Amino acid sequence: MDANTLHIGGIEFNILALLGIIAILGLVIGYFLGKRKQFTDSSRRRSNSPEDYSVFFKGIQYILANETDQAIEAFSRAVQVNSETIETYVTLGNLFRVKGEIDRAIRIRQTILLREKVDERTKLQALFDMGMDYKQGGFLQRAISTFEEVIRRAPKRLDAHKELEGLYEATHDWQRAYEMQKEIGKLSNTNNQHIMAHLKTEQAKIEMEKGNLDSANAHLKKALSLDPTCVDASLQLGSMYWLKNKKKKALATWKKLVKNNPRWAHLILNRLEEQDGMPADEAKILEFLEKIAEENLDALARLALARCFMKRDRREQALASLRRALELKPDLGEARKMLGEVLLEKGDEKGALSEYRNLLDHLGPTTKSYRCQQCGLESDKIVWKCPGCHNWDTVQPRKIVGD
């Protein structure tokens, strides 16, 4: 994706043109209000010269033409001709940010903040813009401090809360992200409990890595109280029980998840394949796998189930799962390859050769396993927050080729 391109709702926008369209109305109104004030105030020098107007409008034309360097040059000239027009400074700072000249953008904001005659609302916007500059420049801690100051001055400013919450997520400060998300829900009067559940789940993962299983349990219970359908929270709860050697509770948690959300069964089975249990646990695991096999599973889950059966030397059940997976998704190369290997182990060379020929017949562009229902981004790994459109829970397993 081009650095100057933005995707919104599946539509491609050029950032510079979009910035120009959004800014122009406010810029022109502010500009001419400033001119009117200068014209009626005889104590000020008269600055509405033809050169002033032409340079100003030339800058707007360059923005709309996506000519960044020329726009910067024109607005820099406009500032030299008339240094009293704050809107010109604002636009110039935004242009520097789009071009990646973060230091110059920040200096513009600092100039506005240091001016005595600038109203507080304009200074607050300059502070917000500085936070955006720091964010784009990768100075995340400075961006966090700046947005925190914006909220201190304007506690109900929703855009600052959203930016700050995103930065807390980026720095894995899940607790503060959770608290900020609560405020966002109050300010916007929206139900964002599914997001809060994910943030609590992320806290639980950190606690599990540290071995603080009781703390992890508390976070997961809170997550599921916020959103009982949170798949990741149920997955982690099962893992937490497994680590606490409560295998029966772990399997019961995962079984419930499969029953309610069969499309996510492959995640549980992938996880179960990696677990090593005591001999007494194996009977429970096999019973669990056989029960799961009766569910209406998709191809990914059938493949994962086959791996679990193979690990436990249940080849016939593995073969049945692999064949069912290929009925559901004939181009699932990994399943066809595994089926060939199992047949070779059984001494069925003819059957293995047939499967490998079928594998060649179905060779083609690799299909990603997951797709965002909002923006169409595809991935081989599950992500609970789409990196494309930044929405939670929109990335789903694909059902069939072309889904």
HEC string of 257-324 equals HHHHCHHHHHHHHHHHHHCCCCHHHHHHHHHHHHHHHCCCCCHHHHHHHHHHHHHCCCHHHHHHHHHH
pLDDT tier at 273, thresholds 50, 70, 90: confident
* Residue 281: closest CA among 239, 242, 235, 321: 242
Taking the chain, what is the end-to-end CA distance rounded to the nearest angstrom?
23
For the stretch 175-219, pLDDT in tens is 999 999 999 999 999 999 999 999 999 999 999 999 999 999 999
Q: What is the pLDDT of residue 24?
A: 44
Q: What count of other Cβ atoms lies within 10 Å of the Cβ of residue 161?
A: 22
Lowest mean pLDDT among 22-26, 202-206, 270-274, 374-378: 22-26
Q: What is the mean pLDDT of the chain?
A: 79
- Summarize pLDDT for 249-267 with one digit per residue, the tens: 999 999 999 988 889 999 9
User: Residue 252: in which H helix or E strand, if any?
Assistant: helix 247-260
Quick one: pLDDT at residue 386? Answer: 94
Q: What pLDDT shows up at residue 391?
A: 94
Task: Say what the pLDDT of residue 243 is.
Answer: 92
Confidence band, pLDDT 50/70/90 cuts, at residue 325: confident
pLDDT digit string, tens, across residues 14-35 = 554 555 444 444 444 444 444 4
CB atoms within 10 A of CB 224: 19
Is residue 401 very low, low, confident or very high in pLDDT (cuts 50, 70, 90)?
A: very low
| Homologous superfamily (CATH) for 249-364 | Tetratricopeptide repeat domain (1.25.40.10)
Predicted confidence band at 356 (pLDDT cuts at 50, 70, 90)?
low
Any idea which fold 5-169 has?
Answer: 1.25.40
- Report how far residue 184's alpha carbon sits from residue 192's, in angstroms, rounded to the nearest whole number: 8
Q: In percent, how much of the chain has pLDDT > 70?
A: 71
Categorize the per-residue pLDDT at 84 as very low, low, confident or very high, splitting at 50, 70 and 90.
Answer: low
Would you say the CATH fold of 249-364 matches that of 5-169?
Answer: yes
Q: Which of the four pLDDT bands, split at 50, 70 and 90, describes residue 72?
A: low
Which is more confidently placed, 291 or 332?
A: 291
pLDDT of residue 334: 81
Asked if residue 110 has pLDDT above 50, the reply is yes
Q: For the ranges 147-161, 167-181, 318-332, 347-361, which has the lowest average pLDDT?
A: 347-361
Q: What are all long-range contacts of 211-220, with beta carbons under 8 Å and residues at least 24 apart? A: 213/240, 213/243, 213/244, 216/240
pLDDT over 60 at 58, yes or no:
no
pLDDT given at position 361 = 57
Q: Which long-range contacts (CB under 8 A, 24 or more apart) does 27-34 make?
A: 27/60, 27/87, 27/88, 27/90, 27/91, 28/60, 30/85, 30/86, 30/87, 31/56, 31/85, 31/87, 31/88, 34/84, 34/85, 34/86, 34/87
The residue ranges of every structural domain in the chain are: 5-169, 249-364, 373-403
Give pLDDT, residue 351.
66
